[in-house]
Amino acid sequence: EPAGAAASSAVSSAARLRQMALDYHSASSDFSLVTGSGPGKITIMPTKRLASQSDLSLAYSPGVAAPCEEIARDPSTVALYTARQNIVAVISNGTAVLGLGDIGALASKPVMEGKAVLFKKFAGIDAVDLEINEKDPHKLAAIVRALEPSFGAVNLEDIKAPECFEVERICRETMGIPVFHDDQHGTAVVVAAAIQNALILAQKDISAVRLVCTGSGAAAIAC
């Protein structure tokens, strides 16, 4: 029957998409940009020449001591001698991953790698994904805070509500680098803008309409 054929086709398409996604994330060469790259979507590439013993002695010991001493003397010079200012930490504990829910830190890694490549593709910013096995908001915030010397900014991602608000609040109040929570400052802002635009197009005032929200996750609460 037509309905049965349509359902079968939808199932087949979903299965094909799933297999393509698994191939994309594996070590398959069909999607690789870097020769010999392994599984996943990111890698680390050196930005300085490493062609000789002299180069290596500058990149590491003994030459690396010079910038270390300068940074110890004046912490602001870390922006001159390291990549810190252009590296974002993408951090999640895997408690609210896309439509998958609490799948755990390890299973959230493909999503966090995905966010890292979006930073690189669309903003030219390097990002490192960090999946942390900690659900207590205060302990998670303490871990994030301890990472501040390594990164120029923090992007909190897929941490369930209401704990995410506490983690974000503590980090923003106590850290000296920007802290961004994707659901609050990303999804919520876009949705709020869409609502505002719809009201303008419909020539209605927000006080005169009733808004219905399905679910009360971080983005919905932030809106």
Q: Which listed residue (41, 109, 115, 160) is catalytic?
A: 115
* Inter-residue contact 168 to 104 (CB < 8 Å): no
Nearest alpha-carbon partner for 126 in 84, 187, 92: 84
Q: Give dist(CA 99, CA 109) in Å, integer.
A: 15
d(CA 160, CA 58): 44
Strand partners, 179: 154
Catalytic annotation on 115?
yes
On the CB side of 157, how many CA atoms lie within 13 Å of its CA? 27
Is residue 41 part of the annotated active site? The answer reads: no
Chain centre to alpha carbon of residue 16: 27
Residue 14 half-sphere exposure toward CB, CA atoms < 13 A: 6
**What DSSP state is assigned to residue 107?**
G
Pairing label, strands 87-92, 126-131: parallel
Catalytic residue selected from 24, 41, 48, 60: 60
d(CA 21, CA 166): 34
Cα–Cα distance between 60 and 205 in angstroms, integer?
A: 62
Which residues are catalytically annotated? 60, 115
